[in-house]
Structure 1
Amino acid sequence: MRNKKITVRETFSGEEIALLDVFWLFYNRKIYLAVSIVLFLIIGVIVANTTPVEYEATVEILSEGGDDGSAGGLSDLIGLAGVRTNRKSSGGGSGGLESDMYPQILRSSPFLLELMDEEFQFGRKRKLSLYEFFLQPEPKHFFATAADYLKDFPLNVKILLGFAKKKKLVTPKHVRKKMENYPSILILSGEEKKVMAQLKRRISIASDGRIISLTVKMPDRNVAAQLNTIVIEKLITYLSNYKTEKLRLDLEFIGERKAEAEIEYLKAQKELATFRDSNQGRMTKLAESREQYLTFEYNLAFNIYNTLSNQLEQAQIQVKKETPLFSEFEPVSIPGSPSEPKASKIITLYTGVGAVFGFLTLVLMLLVSYFKELAISKTN
């Protein structure tokens, strides 16, 4: 049996290094490796149990796009008004948003600015908007909190002794500002950018064919489900408006022309009726000519009004046809268990770090012992 008390210098000074001797060197110092593993294991358990929890709420919806095709006779009607157009389709059948654009919509500044004004009940606290909530100090695990406390300890002592005053947490009101001469340019404050960064990190969307999956992560399970519902509703509204925007513009155009045609039709009807009432009985050739002209004006106004009424109805039908439909494939539910922290992964990670740290410590100790023994042998 090999000598378990063999020195480091004896192990590494020979022509060949015996692996068994190296094993015994580490084995005799195994207590250091065990202490390192146990210490980091305890740290991992503390971090896993003090890290703020996060809940994920997910909804899956099935998208059913509108029919492809043109907007019927809208181009002919627009042509009556003297407007020339080369487009083949008014709607978004083939011109709708691609699914890879959904994340860009959710990350856009106007969308996030509108979203951060939504208010929620966070636990027993008063209702807070997302803007107010994310400007509060973020909860941290035990060691991060302890580090912050030690960093602020001198200031806290000064505050306790009256040499300094505690800073009050001021939450500025969220106001969307724009440049005076350029209304389309937004001016974002530092607080707004911070909140937007939080929302971008917590909202994610993925699309697999016609199924859209939206996930929202929040520290409160109820807020996670509520925010998920609000985000998907806003997204559906945005997609519907985008897909039918051109058709709605055509619908508005036809509606305005119909209103004008109705005024002209009623005017022509009144003029014809007034003329006939004032020229009852035998009429002169001039009066007959005037009646024929008024009748022609009336018939023309009526035909235009009737055509526009039909086209308006067709345009309304087309808007409904082109409006995309979304149905819940997997409805959102209040998450039962937190998605973060993942205790098993954290503990495993810290245990592995402890093992590596312990092993490196043993290697360092062996190197120190080797050079120390080497120095002693030279002095002797």
Structure 2
Amino acid sequence: MSENASKSPFEELTLSGLATVVWNRRKVVYQVTLLFVVLGVVVALVSPKRFSATSTFIPQVGESPSSQGALGGLASLAGFNLSGVSGSSDVPPALYPKIALSVSFQKALLNAKIHVDALDSAITYQEYYDEIYSPGVMESVKDYTVGLPGKLVKALKGEPKEVIVQEITGIVRVSQEEYSHFKRLNSQLKVLPNEKDGIVTVHFEMPEPLMAAEMTKFSVDLLQEEVIQFKIKNAKEQLRFTEERFSERKKEFEDAQMKLANFKDRNQNLNSAYALSQLQQLEANYNFYFDVYTELAKQVEQAKLQVAKDTQVFSILQPVTLPIEKSNIRGSFVLIIFTMMGFSFSIVYILVSEYFKRLKLQSQ
């Protein structure tokens, strides 16, 4: 009796014996698998549609020797040399996802214009999710299960009060509503840099194909604009400063030129030493401002060339196209997964129940 009790209930069964156990209870396999198939059909039907649009581009980091030589030749014709001018640092593709996660970038995405099938005019991304979008059954279930702890904590703490504060330079305020939009944007927008090939791929997922394509195009354009502005910031600041000084010196040069012209008109025949001294002084003053004016004019052109040189160029490899198929899991694939889950669960259920049944008989 003790020897039999020490044996496992399935110890004497072979693989064919286990198969026989399952076959004898095949009706359970059919029922459980059919139940999971029905669940799979329901999940496939109620799952919200999502479409993902894609665009790929190459940021031209740095400048090639040929372009630098052409620029140097153009600069030499203008009368100055660019060898001493250092441009701003390049933005590597690995930093592009960080830029896409910045608050200023995501705030701009909230104001992106999109077209909804049910509307005649375009609305912003934020308006769509605040006023039009209604979550599907699966999203509602997920929101009330996975997000339930957060809702309970929020209910205990109460709604955050609106705080009016003075605007502070360098500090960006984010409202609770904007923060909820940011969390959705982080799941919809994917910026994937390929450091080996030097390419950047942008994906954006939305409930409708046109909306996905528009948000992808807006994200790519905004990302490229942010990179360009970051890269040429120093060069543009130098250009602005040089142009201001140039405008000041231009007025001084024109005043000196006018004074010299007026003096010559009033003194056609210079006989006195005092008049000659005044003429020499006016000419020296004119030559001084002329030299300053000419040098600043060269520096303005040099600064403009530097801005053009530092402006990063992007080559589009894959333009944004309107997605045709859904980006989420297909209904047929969902059905296959649930069928396999149902079949596996039924087998496990039969073996476990048979184990405890034999264990009970063995203990008697």
The yes-or-no answer on 1:23 pairing with 2:23 is: no
| Alignment counterpart, residue 199 of structure 2, candidates 211, 216, 220 | 211
- Please give the alpha-carbon distance, in whole angstroms, between the structure 1 residues aligned to 2:193 and 2:10: 65
RMSD: 3.1
Match of 1:133 in 2: 128
- Please give the alpha-carbon distance, in whole angstroms, between the structure 1 residues aligned to 2:235 and 2:330: 49
Q: 1:333 to 1:21 in 2, by over 3 A?
A: closer
How far did 1:17 drift? Answer: 4.3
TM-score normalised to structure 2 length: 0.79
Letter aligned with residue 271 of structure 2 = M
| Partner SS for 1:96 | coil
| Alignment counterpart, residue 233 of structure 2, candidates 229, 245, 253 | 245
- Please give the alpha-carbon distance, in whole angstroms, between the structure 2 residues aligned to 1:248 and 1:142: 50
What are structure 2's unaligned runs of at least 5 residues?
73-82, 145-161
- Please give the alpha-carbon distance, in whole angstroms, between the structure 2 residues aligned to 1:221 and 1:192: 24
Match of 1:201 in 2: 187
Letter aligned with residue 191 of structure 2 = I
How far did 1:342 drift? Answer: 2.5
Letter aligned with residue 116 of structure 1 = L
Match of 1:64 in 2: 60
How far did 1:367 drift? Answer: 3.9
| Partner SS for 2:268 | coil
- Counterparts of 1:76-87 in structure 2 under 5 Å? none
| Alignment counterpart, residue 355 of structure 1, candidates 326, 339, 343 | 343
Letter aligned with residue 101 of structure 1 = L
Q: 1:365 to 1:325 in 2, by over 3 A?
A: same
- Please give the alpha-carbon distance, in whole angstroms, between the structure 2 residues aligned to 1:181 and 1:141: 41
Q: 1:88 to 1:356 in 2, by over 3 A?
A: farther
Q: 1:89 to 1:138 in 2, by over 3 A?
A: farther
| Partner SS for 1:187 | coil
CA contact (8 A) 2:93 2:199 kept: no
- Please give the alpha-carbon distance, in whole angstroms, between the structure 1 residues aligned to 2:341 and 2:210: 36
How far did 1:292 drift? Answer: 0.8
What are structure 1's unaligned runs of at least 5 residues?
1-8, 73-86, 149-174
Match of 1:32 in 2: 28
Q: 1:147 to 1:314 in 2, by over 3 A?
A: closer
CA contact (8 A) 1:116 1:130 kept: yes
- Please give the alpha-carbon distance, in whole angstroms, between the structure 2 residues aligned to 1:102 and 1:14: 59
Letter aligned with residue 192 of structure 2 = A
Match of 1:156 in 2: none
CA contact (8 A) 1:65 1:323 kept: no
| Alignment counterpart, residue 283 of structure 1, candidates 265, 271, 287 | 271
| Partner SS for 1:338 | coil
| Partner SS for 2:54 | strand
| Alignment counterpart, residue 259 of structure 1, candidates 247, 256, 260 | 247
Match of 1:114 in 2: 108
CA contact (8 A) 2:242 2:296 kept: yes
| Partner SS for 2:314 | strand
| Partner SS for 2:203 | strand
Letter aligned with residue 325 of structure 1 = V
For residues 324-371 of structure 1, the C-alpha deviation after alignment (integer angstroms, 9 at most, x for no partner) is 122322211101111113324322322232123212321342244235
- Please give the alpha-carbon distance, in whole angstroms, between the structure 1 residues aligned to 2:142 and 2:189: 30
| Partner SS for 1:183 | coil
| Partner SS for 2:87 | coil
Whichever structure has more helix as a proportion of its residues is 2
Q: 1:226 to 1:285 in 2, by over 3 A?
A: same
- Counterparts of 1:292-331 in structure 2 under 5 Å? 292-331=280-319
How far did 1:225 drift? Answer: 0.8
- Please give the alpha-carbon distance, in whole angstroms, between the structure 2 residues aligned to 1:67 and 1:232: 22
Percent sequence identity over matched residues?
25
- Please give the alpha-carbon distance, in whole angstroms, between the structure 2 residues aligned to 1:50 and 1:370: 42
- Please give the alpha-carbon distance, in whole angstroms, between the structure 1 residues aligned to 2:164 and 2:239: 31
| Alignment counterpart, residue 226 of structure 1, candidates 214, 217, 224 | 214
| Partner SS for 2:327 | coil
Q: 1:274 to 1:56 in 2, by over 3 A?
A: same
For residues 276-301 of structure 1, the C-alpha deviation after alignment (integer angstroms, 9 at most, x for no partner) is 33333233222212211111010110
How far did 1:181 drift? Answer: 5.3
CA contact (8 A) 1:134 1:198 kept: no
